[in-house]
Amino acid sequence: MSETHVSSNAAQAVASGNPETSFRVAALQMVSTPDRERNLAEAERLIAEAAADGAQLVLLPEYFCFMGFKDTDKLAVREAYQDGPIQRFLADAARRHKVWVIGGTLAITAPEASRVLNTTLVFDPQGNEAARYDKIHLFSFEKGEESFDEARTICPGGEVRTFEAPFGRVGLSVCYDLRFPELYRRMGDCALIVVPSAFTYTTGRAHWEMLLRARAVENQCYVLAAAQGGKHENGRRTWGHSMLIDPWGEIVAVRDEGAGVVIGDLERARIDEVRQSLPAWRHRVLS
């Protein structure tokens, strides 16, 4: 079942029936390290850069705060829900820069001591938590020397989550979720879907762009994807290519590799134009 959260400011826009017609968003690309404090300092730098360029919402990548040398390292930096330095950082950054902050993912304590939840937290410009999403689909991949199995250290979430922002509904997903279109259908009518990610170089080169563009075309909405992008200190290489895609599947902005900001505007008129000329959203029969 989908659950929608509405902040006070967004609620006013939704209730009035007049969502903002243009809204600037930014995807922050990082090359995160095993040093939490260094990662938070880099995230702060990028949030400040995006806010200075007019961004009203910023999206951090998956694992923005920590990428350890081995999977179990994340257990050492897990936080109890609503208590911990990473969560305080996200709330403070949103309040300080007066922007919506979607906090990529961080490790939140799970019922099992040997695993965590891979959690996205959303904070409004007042620093209040607006939504939480626990990653549902857990990545596994075997090819040559590459081997991944997130289920060893992560518990899957079980709820589809969205929240209302001033420009409309935002659907929350994380990385491997991108391969499961049924998740996005259950979000309902979104103006924006976000995808914080840490795609591997191999899978990203093969499928990243086509999957992102497919989700935008299928749902006739914007897609904002913030990725890890580069060679990490733990030896892992991630694909990067953080991007903003419009409802027709066109790439508005992209960054190939390296830390930086990808910024662009969401235009309600563009969503309306696409849906009027090709009314696939209204033609849906199966759910």
CATH number of the domain within which 203 lies: 3.60.110.10
Asked whether residue 284 is assigned to any structural domain, the reply reads no
CA 85 – CA 3 distance, rounded (Å): 26
Asked whether residue 167 is assigned to any structural domain, the reply reads yes
Confirm whether 146 is a catalytic residue: no
Catalytic residue among 65, 175, 190, 221: 175
Instruction: Give the number of domains in the chain.
Output: 1
Q: Are the C-beta atoms of residues 31 and 63 closer than 8 Å to each other? A: no
Angstrom CA distances, 169 to 215, 220, 268, stand at 15, 13, 12
Output the pLDDT for position 9.
58
Tokens read off for 176: 């491997």
Which parts of the chain have pLDDT scores under 50?
Answer: 1, 14-15
Output the pLDDT for position 1.
47
Output the pLDDT for position 286.
82
Confirm whether 135 is a catalytic residue: yes
Asked whether residue 75 is assigned to any structural domain, the reply reads yes
Asked whether residue 197 is assigned to any structural domain, the reply reads yes
Asked whether residue 286 is assigned to any structural domain, the reply reads no
Residue 84, Cβ density class (10 Å: 0-12 exposed, 13-18 middle, ≥19 buried): middle
Asked whether residue 177 is assigned to any structural domain, the reply reads yes
Confirm whether 70 is a catalytic residue: no
Q: Which domain covers residue 58, as residue numbers?
A: 2-10+24-277
Nearest to 3 by CA among 137, 135, 171: 171
Q: Are the C-beta atoms of residues 193 and 171 closer than 8 Å to each other? A: yes
Asked whether residue 113 is assigned to any structural domain, the reply reads yes
Tokens read off for 99: 């922007």
CA 263 – CA 242 distance, rounded (Å): 10
Asked whether residue 44 is assigned to any structural domain, the reply reads yes
Output the pLDDT for position 7.
58
* Beta-carbon count within 10 A of 273 CB: 14
Catalytic residue among 42, 65, 129, 135: 135
* Beta-carbon count within 10 A of 255 CB: 20
Nearest to 187 by CA among 284, 261, 90: 284
CA 260 – CA 138 distance, rounded (Å): 27
